[in-house]
Every structure is written in structure tokens, then in C-alpha cells.
């Protein structure tokens, strides 16, 4: 039997490391790199028929007097261009920028893969609501687990869920990837996926406590984790395979969503096994004592 609790110190150390990395990266980057969903403006993904340099694209657009130009490179052919200009005619604005790039770079058949446009006020409101959505999800899960099990269980579950959110946030900060509405949705889906794994383990712990007699609670927790381990790993691997195919074949428009989901599956599985139960046990012991 794998003794999960034996390595709880390493799990706590990794958790603290994730938090430190998140905080340092946040201040180093000056905050998240928000997509046009939150900042307002227009964002267009272009595919060029010939390799082109990022700075060349930026020079052309600045010469054309576009405001707040931000260019990101995905490959030598695919680039995201963001400007602060907002227009209800997305295709017209995108077509105008495409024509200028074709002229300025000597390119032909520049393809528009995706166009997004959001007003500044709408973007700010959406950012605030996204934060509240994540906090509300954590609060509701805390209340549900406390009512369904015990308060100690709810603390373990929410601490594990916060870990998953920190991991995704740290990754997007370190690699300076954009936070879009899709990514926020992926974080919420990750919370739901992770809590499902955690509840399965908690339910087995509660069931074993009723029939364990005088067995120490630490042994009951280890036994319960091992009894559900195969189910947890099989479910996570099968789900991860689908998300990996989405990363490979889904294109750049879905890349942020796919990466956030994959991180959520991997670290959500890890946290439900190595963090939720040890944290629950810490509070459970104190309460019983």
C-alpha cells in the first residue's frame, strides 16, 4: 500500500513553492496578460503565407497609427495582433489591418483565423465578474462539503482547489500567456473536476471510518486513497488524452483553454490525493482531540 501521508511534508512544500512562484511572477509581470475580453479593443489572429518577424508587423501597424498595438508570436506564420480600437464591424476592421499588413510586408493571402472585439467598459465588468465567479464557486463548494461531510473535509477540499487555481495562474504568468474568458471557464471546470475526485476519496474515508473499529484515522485515510487510486488515475488519464488531442489539433484559438484544462486535470488529480486528505486529517485530528 502506497503511504501517501508519509510524503505530506513534500506536498506542503510544493504548495508553498507554487504560491511563492505565483506571487513573484505576478509582481514581475505586473499582473496577468489579459486578452481583449477583459481589456477592451480588438484582437485578430493572422496566418501569413511567408515567415515574418514580429517587430516588422509592429512597425507596420504603428506606422499606420493604430493605438495600443500588441503583437504576439505563435509560430513564424501565426501572430496575434491586438489594438485598442473597437468596432461593431469586426470583419471590416480586421480586413483593414490585413490590407495594411499585406502592403507593408509584401505578403499575399494573409488569412484571418479569428477576430474578437470588446468594449472597454464591458471588458472591465467581465473581469470583475470572472473573479467573483471563481470566489463564489470556492465558497459554495466549502459550504457543500461542510454540510455533506464535516467542516474539516471542506477545509481540505477548498485548500486543494485553491492549489489548482494557483498552479494554472502561475503557469500563465511565467509564460506570459493571455487570460481569456475561455481560460476562466477552464479554471471553473477544473474546480468542478478536482472536487469530484476529492469527494470520491472523502466518501470512501467516511465509509471506512464507520467500519474501521480501532484503526488509526491516518491508516484509514491511506487505505481509502489506495482503494480509489486506480479509479482516479484511469479517469484522469482518459480525460487528459482528450485534452491533449485538443491542444494538438484545436489550433491557437483554443490553446489557452486546452492548456488550462490539462494543467487542471494533472494537478487537480495530484491535489485531491496528496493535499486534500492530509489537510483534512490535520483539522480532523485537532477537532477530535
pLDDT, tens only, 13-33: 999 999 999 999 999 988 888
Classify residue 169: in a domain, yes or no. yes
Q: Tell me how far apart the alpha carbons of residues 154 and 145 are, in angstroms, rounded to a whole number.
A: 5
Least Cα distance to 36 among 183, 134, 174 occurs for 183
Name the domain count of the chain: 2
CA 261 vs. chain centroid, Å, equals 6
Residues 127 and 114 in one domain: no
Q: Given a cut of 60, is residue 289 above it in pLDDT? A: no
Q: Tell me how far apart the alpha carbons of residues 94 and 204 are, in angstroms, rounded to a whole number.
A: 55
Pairing of strands 78-83, 70-73: antiparallel
Classify residue 240: in a domain, yes or no. yes
Q: Given a cut of 60, is residue 285 above it in pLDDT? A: no
Neighbours of 131 (CB within 10 A): 10
Q: Which of 103, 118, 133 is the last residue of a domain?
A: 118
Least confident interval from 4-8, 90-94, 257-261: 90-94
Higher pLDDT, 191 or 91: 191
Classify residue 165: in a domain, yes or no. yes
Residues 208 and 161 in one domain: yes
Q: Given a cut of 70, is residue 267 above it in pLDDT? A: yes
Q: Given a cut of 90, is residue 46 above it in pLDDT? A: no
Coil, helix or strand at residue 76: coil
Higher pLDDT, 51 or 200: 200
Residues 178 and 69 in one domain: no
Residues 113 and 129 in one domain: no
Mean pLDDT of 236-256: 84
Residues 229 and 247 in one domain: yes
Mean pLDDT of 264-278: 90
Q: Tell me how far apart the alpha carbons of residues 200 and 225 are, in angstroms, rounded to a whole number.
A: 9
Match 467542516 to its residue by C-alpha cell: 151
User: In the prediction, which pLDDT does 81 show?
Assistant: 82
Q: Given a cut of 50, is residue 279 above it in pLDDT? A: yes
pLDDT band at 5 (very low <50, low <70, confident <90, very high): confident
Check if the beta carbon of residue 172 is closer than 8 Å to that of residue 243: no
Residues 111 and 131 in one domain: no
Amino acid at each position: 500500500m502506497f503511504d501517501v501521508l508519509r510524503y505530506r511534508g513534500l506536498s506542503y512544500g510544493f504548495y508553498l513553492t507554487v504560491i511563492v512562484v505565483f506571487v513573484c511572477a505576478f509582481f514581475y509581470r505586473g499582473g496577468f496578460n489579459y486578452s481583449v475580453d477583459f481589456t477592451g479593443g480588438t484582437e485578430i489572429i493572422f496566418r501569413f503565407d511567408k515567415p515574418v518577424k514580429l517587430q516588422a508587423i509592429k512597425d507596420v501597424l504603428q506606422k499606420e497609427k493604430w493605438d495600443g498595438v500588441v503583437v504576439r508570436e505563435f509560430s513564424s506564420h501565426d501572430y496575434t495582433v491586438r489594438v485598442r480600437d473597437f468596432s461593431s464591424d469586426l470583419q471590416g476592421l480586421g480586413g483593414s489591418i490585413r490590407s495594411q499588413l499585406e502592403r507593408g510586408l509584401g505578403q499575399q493571402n494573409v488569412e484571418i483565423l479569428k477576430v474578437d472585439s470588446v468594449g472597454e467598459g464591458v471588458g472591465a465588468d467581465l473581469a470583475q465578474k470572472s473573479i467573483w465567479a471563481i470566489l463564489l464557486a470556492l465558497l459554495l463548494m466549502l459550504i457543500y462539503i461542510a454540510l455533506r461531510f464535516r467542516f474539516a473535509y471542506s477545509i481540505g477540499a477548498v485548500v486543494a482547489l485553491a492549489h489548482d487555481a494557483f498552479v494554472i495562474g502561475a503557469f500563465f504568468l511565467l509564460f506570459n500567456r493571455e487570460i481569456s474568458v475561455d481560460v476562466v471557464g477552464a479554471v471553473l471546470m477544473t474546480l468542478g473536476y478536482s472536487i469530484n475526485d476529492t469527494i470520491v476519496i472523502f466518501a470512501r474515508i467516511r465509509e471506512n471510518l464507520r467500519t474501521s473499529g480501532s484503526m488509526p484515522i491516518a491508516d484509514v485515510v491511506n487505505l481509502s486513497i489506495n482503494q480509489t487510486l486506480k479509479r482516479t488515475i484511469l479517469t484522469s488519464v482518459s480525460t487528459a488524452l482528450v485534452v491533449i488531442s485538443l491542444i494538438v489539433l484545436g489550433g491557437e484559438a483554443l490553446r489557452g483553454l486546452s492548456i488550462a484544462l490539462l494543467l487542471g486535470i494533472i494537478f487537480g488529480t495530484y491535489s485531491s490525493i496528496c493535499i486534500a486528505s492530509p489537510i483534512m486529517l490535520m483539522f480532523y485530528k485537532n477537532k477530535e482531540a
